């Protein structure tokens, strides 16, 4: 293949109208933070500053929560459900219309390949609004009681791996169910959320129904601890999820927590090996492995392990790493210097504990944050790389002899978010799916998402489900909770 080179095919940046600075989106307007503090967001592929965004502290959070409470009490909870649905449809349509702009901004701010933001993140975000628009006036039939009510004002905190998509997962069901929200994007990827704030203005969403406050973990904690929040919806690290659970334990606040994962991708000896290899690559190298449900533990049946590994290495040699704005790029930039450090730190324990590292030859750009696609073989269950979430393009390979051993190893984790099963026998797939302790199980595919399908985990992967009819449950109650 060395004689066959791809020409570069860069997506144009001209459609992205990124302002030099952004305020906070509170009460339907962009406002300056009370203390005038701000921070920069950069492009992780170049380390260049993209924009300066407001840093919200306690005072700003208080104003945002007040604006959400007023919008909830005065407007949104009183509006006929069918009217609410119309706003969600409008948002979905605008996201489709402005899809290219959103994809470019997402890639610049996050570092993910344009192919992924264009084909996955943005279309799925629009799909979530379409799907939940449909539920707005049918909540009586969602199986959550005859007259379910919204929970009230919801604080939502999202991570940097799928910035707009995680926003959609949070905001669409909350609004469909009649809640109002204060959402905090991750500090490294605030731009598509701010663009979304403009969409809220564009569709004429009543002021205060959606508030967007940018900031870091301290901002997030201020939101969690605000006394007039009825519910917290969080996606991020298990560590922060546990801290949130602790801080709301003495309150009436409810919570949905989507946390980490260490998913097993199980390849049985009767699987179609070429397809399984594609699924393994998609499972761990999609979005640089910054995926909570990534197939980061490959469990392959011993008698086909050599064949799988040989084909996997060949396939990995074809992965194109580099400029995320190039339409041919498969693996983009690591989202931040901090995340890169974390990937190095955990992966290095793989070498130290005796596993064997392999990466294809690939030239990494000199500026920005990069990590090559990597696999470790000779991994045992006690190794840190088999237990901890690396959240990068690093795969740990383990083997098993019997199906029962495969299941036992797959379940030997503190997480339980997702799993993959590769086999040509339907009965074996169903048998495996029944025993795997994971919220989402894919068979003969991986990383497939649909707004109608509930997503969430067992054990330390979190509480509750997002998406589908099940996801609505977290935003509904049979009794309206009193605000203080």
How many Å from the N-terminal Cα to the C-terminal Cα in the chain?
66
Cβ atoms < 10 Å from Cβ of 17: 10
Q: Who contacts 394 (Cβ-Cβ below 8 Å, separation ≥6)? A: 284, 289, 296, 343, 346, 347, 350, 371, 374, 375, 376, 385
Residue 157 binding result from ligand NAI, Mg ion, none, given CB thresholds of 5 to 8 Å by partner type: ligand NAI
Residues that bind Mg ion (CB under 5 A): 41, 109, 188
Q: Please report how close the Cβ of residue 220 comes to ligand NAI at its closest, in angstroms.
A: 2
Q: How many CA atoms, within 13 angstroms, populate the side-chain half-sphere of residue 366?
A: 0
Question: Toward Mg ion, which CB reaches closer, 117 or 188?
Answer: 188
The verdict on 460 binding ligand NAI (CB under 6 A) reads no
Interface residue with ligand NAI among 104, 174, 209, 221 (CB under 6 A) is: 221
Q: Helix 122-135 and helix 163-176: axis angle, to 10°?
A: 0
Instruction: Report the chain's C-alpha Rg in angstroms.
Output: 22
Q: Please report how close the Cβ of residue 385 comes to Mg ion at its closest, in angstroms.
A: 27
**To 5 degrees, how large is the angle CA 199–CA 216–CA 128?**
35
Residue 41 binding result from Mg ion, ligand NAI, none, given CB thresholds of 5 to 8 Å by partner type: Mg ion
Question: Toward ligand NAI, which CB reaches closer, 43 or 288?
Answer: 288
Q: Please report how close the Cβ of residue 244 comes to ligand NAI at its closest, in angstroms.
A: 6
Residue 394 binding result from Mg ion, ligand NAI, none, given CB thresholds of 5 to 8 Å by partner type: none
Q: Token pair of 160, please?
A: 């940097």
Verify whether residue 292 is a known catalytic residue.
yes
Question: Toward ligand NAI, which CB reaches closer, 47 or 270?
Answer: 47
SS3 of the chain: helix, strand, coil, percent, to 5 = 40, 20, 40
**8 A C-beta contact, residue 253 and residue 154:** no
Question: Toward ligand NAI, which CB reaches closer, 26 or 277?
Answer: 26
The verdict on 420 binding ligand NAI (CB under 6 A) reads no
Residue 217 binding result from ligand NAI, Mg ion, none, given CB thresholds of 5 to 8 Å by partner type: ligand NAI
The verdict on 159 binding ligand NAI (CB under 6 A) reads yes
Nearest 10 degrees: Cα torsion 185, 189, 193, 195: 160
Which of 106, 187, 258, 460 is catalytic? The answer is: 258
Q: Helix 122-135 and helix 81-97: axis angle, to 10°?
A: 170
Residue 109 binding result from ligand NAI, Mg ion, none, given CB thresholds of 5 to 8 Å by partner type: Mg ion
Give the whole-angstrom CA distance, residue 64 versus residue 61: 5
Verify whether residue 293 is a known catalytic residue.
no
Residues with a catalytic annotation lie at 258, 292
- Residues near ligand NAI (CB under 6 A) are 157-161, 184, 186-187, 216-217, 220-221, 224, 235-237, 240, 243-244, 258-260, 292, 339, 342, 389, 391
């Amino acid at each position: 293949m060395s004689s066959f080179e791809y020409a570069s095919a860069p997506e144009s940046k001209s459609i992205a109208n990124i302002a030099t600075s952004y305020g906070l989106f509170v009460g339907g307007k962009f406002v300056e933070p009370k203390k005038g503090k701000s921070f920069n967001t950069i492009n992780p592929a170049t380390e260049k500053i993209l924009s300066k965004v407001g840093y919200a502290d306690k005072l700003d959070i208080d104003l945002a929560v007040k604006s959400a409470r007023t919008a909830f009490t005065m407007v949104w909870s009183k509006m006929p459900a069918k009217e609410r649905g119309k706003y969600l449809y409008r948002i979905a349509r605008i996201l489709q219309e402005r899809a290219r702009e959103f994809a470019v901004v997402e890639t610049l701010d996050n570092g993910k390949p344009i192919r992924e933001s264009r084909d996955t993140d943005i279309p799925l975000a629009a799909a979530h609004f379409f799907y939940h628009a449909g539920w707005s006036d049918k909540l009586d039939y969602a199986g959550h009681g005859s007259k379910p009510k919204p929970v009230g004002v919801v604080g939502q905190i999202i991570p940097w791996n799928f910035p707009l998509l995680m926003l959609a997962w949070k905001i669409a069901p909350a609004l469909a169910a009649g809640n109002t929200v204060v959402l905090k994007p991750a500090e490294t990827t605030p731009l598509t959320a701010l663009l979304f704030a403009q969409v809220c203005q564009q569709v004429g969403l009543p002021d205060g129904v959606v508030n967007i406050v940018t900031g870091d973990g301290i901002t997030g904690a201020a939101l969690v601890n605000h006394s007039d929040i009825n519910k917290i919806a969080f996606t991020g690290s298990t560590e922060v999820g546990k801290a949130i659970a602790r801080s709301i334990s003495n309150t009436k606040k409810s919570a949905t927590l989507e946390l980490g994962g260490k998913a097993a991708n199980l390849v049985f000896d009767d699987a179609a090996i070429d397809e399984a290899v594609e699924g393994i690559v998609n499972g761990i190298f999609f979005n640089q492995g910054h995926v909570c449900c990534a197939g980061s533990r490959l469990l392959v049946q011993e008698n086909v392990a050599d064949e799988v590994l040989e084909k996997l290495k060949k396939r990995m040699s074809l992965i194109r790493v580099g400029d995320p704005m190039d339409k041919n790029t498969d693996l983009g930039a690591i989202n931040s210097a901090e995340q890169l450090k974390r990937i190095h730190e955990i992966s290095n324990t793989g070498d130290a504990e005796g596993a064997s590292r392999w990466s294809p030859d690939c030239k990494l750009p000199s500026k920005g944050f990069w990590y090559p696609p990597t696999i470790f073989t000779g991994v045992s269950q006690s190794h840190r790389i088999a237990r901890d979430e690396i959240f990068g393009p690093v795969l740990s390979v383990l083997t098993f002899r019997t199906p029962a051993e495969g299941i036992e190893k797959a379940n030997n984790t503190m997480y339980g978010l997702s799993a993959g099963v590769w086999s040509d026998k339907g009965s074996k797939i169903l048998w495996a799916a029944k025993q795997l302790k994971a919220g989402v199980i894919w068979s003969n595919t991986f990383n497939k998402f649909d707004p109608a399908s509930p997503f969430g985990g067992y054990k330390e992967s979190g509480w509750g489900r997002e998406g589908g009819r099940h996801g609505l449950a977290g935003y509904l109650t049979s009794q309206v909770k009193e605000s203080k």
